[in-house]
Homo-oligomer: A and B are copies of this chain.
């Protein structure tokens, strides 16, 4: 099982990469065969090709992210982070709670993101 320290490190890398890294930076944190369900209730992205496509959509956006809180238990982490997207004069802020599972090397095997349309703050 990955250590809590390793899991915490990967969560930090994930939050930084989602905002300012490339899709490949994010993808490097995932295990082969990983599954991403974002938001929960939507059709999951299964495997690295599908996951790459998902993160490629937000790659060109101007974004800032901040890890707000993280809890680690067993081979899993739950954390909330804020992701601010700038488009011209507007800012779109979303602060989902994500749950991840990790393999023994600390690669993400599953990610589920909990948020709804009502959680998007436009300002």
Chain A residues in the interface with B (C-beta under 8 A): 4, 39-42, 69, 71-80, 95-97, 99, 113-116, 118-119
Contact = CB atoms under 8 A, between A and B. Distances in A.
Contacts of A41: 73-76
A97 B115 contact: no
Nearest to A77: B114
Contacts of A39: 73-74
Query: How many of these chains are in the complex?
Result: 2
Please name the 3 residue pairs, one residue from A and one from B, whose CB atoms are nearest each other, closest first. A41-B74, A78-B114, A40-B73
B69 A114 contact: no
A40 to B, nearest CB: 4
A118 to B, nearest CB: 7
Contact of A99 (B42, B80, B99, B119): B99
Contact of A72 (B77, B79, B99, B116): B116
Nearest to A99: B99
The CB with the most chain B CB atoms within 10 A, among A69, A74, A78, is that of A78
B118 A4 contact: yes
A78 B25 CA distance: 27
